[in-house]
Structure formats: C-alpha cells, structure tokens
Structure 1
Amino acid sequence: MNDSKIAVRYAKALFLSAKEKKVLDKVHNDVVFVLDICRQVSELMDLFHSPIIPASKKKVIVREVFRPDVNKLTLNFLDLIILNKRETFIPDIARRFISVYKKHKGITSATLTTATPVDREVRNRIIDLIDKAYKTKVDLAGKVEESLIGGFVLRIEDHLLNASVSSELKKIKRELTGKY
C-alpha cells in the first residue's frame, strides 16, 4: 500500500470516530497541536523513525508529551498508529485529517505569499473577496518571500494567481531573450 493511501485511511478513520463520538472539533485541535509539535521538535520525528526504540517505549513517550493536552480518543489513536508501526506517517495523517475536517466544515484553504507582511485590513479584504467568490469560509495562511520583490501570489486550493513583480520580470526576460 502506498504512503498516501495509508495516511488517508488513518485520517478518515480518526475523522469518522471523532464525528461519531461528537468530539470532532476537539480532535481537530489536537491534530493541529500534534502536527505543530512534530514540525517543531525534530527529536520526536527521530523517535518515530528509530527502528531501535521499541513501540512500547514510543507509546510511553508520546503519552508523556501529549497526555495533558489532548483528548483520550486522540491519545488512543496515536497508540494504535504506533502499535501498527505507522508512526512515521503521523504528520501526513495529521495533514490529511485537517484536509478532511476542512472539507466537512466547508472551509477553503488559501495561501497568500507576499514580499512584505500584509496588514490585518488587507488580509481581511482578501478573505472577504475569496468568501464571496467561493461562497465558503476561508482559512488564509500568509507567507513572506522577499524574492517576489512586490505583488503577491495567491493559491486557493488548486488555483494559482501569480501577480508578483518577479514573475512579471521573468516573463519580460523570456520575451527579450526569445526563450519560451
């Protein structure tokens, strides 16, 4: 079974279980928290990837790290993943779960990349425009990439709008050099 199928199946199983137990929002918050910890604490990912450390020890460590902050269902799910030797998939499972959750809640993901930080007023106007265009709630993430020089790149799910200065300069360069 390929990696993405594994992550999708586990994510859907957690989603359905959380929905059935009426703790979907809490489990979503837990999963976001787990993903953040996985991103910030490289030693945790080292633990997950280690073939030397037994599953029983990994479960104890995971429970110590997450017990005070996460729902019992989330903890039991993490135990199951470790028991089935799928702990290296935890970040991918978390991302897939968040995606399923957002789809269920009618939330559209978007990323706004700019050369400089965007103030709250501009950000809110962009969210309102996307809300109206897609008739959905928007989860807008922001990124700063100075290499854009100016303008912005807006990614809404599978759609991309590149209105950056660097993109325009590349177009002009291609036209001038004749390299398409």
Structure 2
Amino acid sequence: MKHSLVKQRYAKSLLDLALDLNQVEEVHADMQLLLAIAADSRDLTMMLRSPIIKPDYKIAVFTKLFDGKMSNLTMQFMALLAKKKREELLVEIADKFLSLYKEHRGIKTAYLSTAKELNPEVRDRVVQRLKSQTGAEVELIEKVEDDLIGGFVLRMDDKQIDASMRGALKKIAREFDENLYTKAF
C-alpha cells in the first residue's frame, strides 16, 4: 500500500474507534500534543524513522514520554503502530487524524495574512463573518507578513481574497506592463 493510503486508513480507524468509545476529544488533544512535541523534538522524529531501533524500545519511549499525558486508546494505538513497523508514519497519521476530525466536526480552516497583528475584536468579527458566510465553524490561522504593507489576504478552501496593498501594487504593475495606453502624439 502507498503511504498516503496507509496514513488515511490508520487515521480513519483511530477516529472511528474514538467515536465508538466516545473518546474523540481526548484523542484529538493527544494528536495535537503529539504534533507539538514532534515539531519541537527532532530526536523523537529521528527515533520514529530509525529502522535500527527496535519496536519494543520505541514503545518504552512512548510510555516514558506520554504515560499519564495521553489516553490509553492513543497509547495502545502508538504501540500497535510500533508492532506493525508503521511508527515512522505516526506524525503524518496524527496530522491526517486532525484533518478528519475537522471534517467530522464541520470545522473549516481559514488562513489570514495581515501586515500587522490583529486585535481580538477584529479577529472575532472576521471569524463571525466567515461563520455566517460558510455556515460552519471556522478555525482562523493568522500570519503576519510585513511585505503586505497594509490590508489582508484571506484563503479558505479554494478561494482567496487579496485586499492587500502588495496585491494592489502588483495589479497596477501588471497593467503598466500590458501598456493599455498608446501614445497619441
């Protein structure tokens, strides 16, 4: 099987099992914790990918790192991956699980780039406006990009709204390059 199909199947199986056992929120929190730790710890990701380290040792590391911090379901899932020699896919499976979780909960992700950090009132208004437009819960991921000069760029699903000064200046530059005007003299 291709790795993308394997990740999809394991993530879907974990979500289905968590739904059956009514532990979706706990497993969701566990997957977020796992991704946060993996992003900060190069050693953990190297250990997961290493074919030299035995699965039993990896399970022992999981137990030391996460015992008491993660649900039993997640701990058993990670042990299963190690036994099946699929632990190198754990981070990708966790990421896929979060995508499936958002899909299950009807949560859409919007990416908002601004020239300066938004104040909380404006952020809340943007989220409320997106909720009313889409009819879904919205997770807003903000990014500050100084080169926007002013305004914002909003991306959600397959749509993008570029209301930035950078975008406006690029549009003007393209119009000048097209040279729509001819000399009359």
- Give 3-state SS (helix, strand or coil) of 2:131's partner: helix
CA deviations on 1:38-67 (whole Å, 9 max, x unpaired) are 111111111112222111111111121111
Paired position in structure 2 for 1:126: 126
Could you tell me the percent identity over the aligned residues?
Answer: 37
Q: Sort the Cα spacing of 1:150 and 1:88 in 2 relative to 1 into closer, same or farther, 3 A.
A: farther
* 2:76 paired with 1:76: yes
Shift of 1:168: 2.2
> Cα deviation per residue 1:56-91 (whole Å; 9 max; x = unaligned)?
111111121111210000011111112222222222
Is the alpha carbon distance of 1:87 and 1:147 closer, same or farther for their aligned partners in structure 2, counting shifts above 3 Å? farther
Written as runs of structure 1 = structure 2, the 5 A alignment for 1:128-147 is 128-147=128-147
Residue 77 of structure 2 aligns to a residue whose secondary structure is helix
Q: How does 1:11-50 map to 2 (within 5 A)?
A: 11-50=11-50
The number of residues matched between the two structures is 179
Q: CA deviation at 1:133?
A: 0.4
- 3-state SS, counterpart of residue 112 of structure 1: strand
Amino acid at match of 1:40: D
Distance 1:78 1:147 in 2: 42
Alpha-carbon distance in structure 2 between the residues aligned to 1:138 and 1:163: 20
Separation in structure 1 between the aligned mates of residue 74 and residue 116 of structure 2, nearest angstrom: 38
Q: Distance in 2 between matches of 1:24 and 1:72?
A: 12
Please report how far the alpha carbon of residue 174 of structure 1 lies from its aligned counterpart in structure 2 after TM superposition: 2.4
Find runs of 4+ consecutive structure 1 residues off by over 6 angstroms: none
RMSD, aligned CA: 1.5
* Separation in 2, partners of 1:152, 1:88: 38
Structure 1: distance between partners of 2:18 and 2:62: 20
- Give the aligned partner of residue 88 of structure 2: 88
Report which stretch shifted further, 14-23 or 85-94. 85-94
Q: TM-score, normalised by structure 1?
A: 0.93
**Hey, what's the Cα distance between the residues in 1 that align with 2:131 and 2:112?**
14
Uncovered stretches (5+) of structure 1, i.e. residues with no partner:
none
Contiguous gaps of at least 5 residues in structure 2: 180-185
- 1:48-67 correspondence runs (5 A): 48-67=48-67
Relative distance call for 1:16 and 1:117 in structure 2 (3 A) is same
